[in-house]
Amino acid sequence: MQPPLNIKMVGEKVRRLRQGQGFSLEELSTRSDVSRSMLSAVERGEKAPTIVVLGQIATALNTSISRLLDDRPLTIVQRFHEQIVVGEPDTYERRTLSPRIAGVEFEFLRMTIAPSVDAGSYPPHAPGTREFLVVEQGELTLTLDGQEHVLRDGDSIYYDGECAHAYRNDNETPCIFYLVMDIATARR
């Protein structure tokens, strides 16, 4: 049996997202094509919106219905065995250290590149994306829009993520680095 919709939680979430994006009730009403009085009642937890109205509100807030209905706690523990790991055996490993959090486009990664491996080139992210990288061990050649940056143990770099970027290890020892990405979305 499905638990009933927590309209108070949905209303609080709508208000938080609306205010976080700097919208007045009137602006959200215009963007969503939902009346100001209905939005106000939803935010106060007085009315349960229909699925259609939820969809209109979610779209206007650049999110999904699922994210509006998600009331998980803000503290999330992600165990080592739960972390997402992708890559090619013996060449490149990308381990996602940060949990997936509703409404947050942020990644904290631990990357390992084996000796003499080119991990490839990646396209630019959306404008406004920010990246911060620090080398823990080894040497990394980071190429940003064709410009190479050689980083060694302890070196760090910040860059706008809206550029083509590539990772390469030209040495005979593994390179381990951490990458933090704050990924811009349409709402920014």
Percent of the chain with pLDDT over 90: 63
Give the global pTM.
Answer: 0.62
Q: Do domains 7-69 and 80-182 have the same CATH topology?
A: no
pLDDT above 70 (res 175): yes
The angle at the Cα of 90, spanning 85 to 96, to the nearest 5 degrees, equals 15
Backbone phi, psi, residue 156, to 5°: -135, 160
Instruction: Enter the CATH code of domain 80-182.
Output: 2.60.120.10
Q: Which amino acid is at 132?
A: F
Q: Where are the domains of the chain?
A: 7-69, 80-182
pLDDT above 90 (res 101): no
pLDDT above 60 (res 2): no
> What are 115-130's pLDDT values in tens digits?
999 998 899 988 889 9
What residues are paired with 131 via a beta bridge?
A: 159, 181
Q: How far apart are CA 10 and CA 155, in angstroms?
A: 44
In the prediction, which pLDDT does 186 show? 47
> What are 12-69's pLDDT values in tens digits?
999 999 998 899 999 999 999 999 999 999 999 999 888 889 999 999 998 888 778 8
Q: How far apart are CA 82 and CA 17, in angstroms?
A: 29
In which band, very low, low, confident or very high, does the pLDDT at 88 lie, cut at 50, 70 and 90? confident
In which band, very low, low, confident or very high, does the pLDDT at 71 lie, cut at 50, 70 and 90? low
Instruction: Enter the CATH code of domain 7-69.
Output: 1.10.260.40
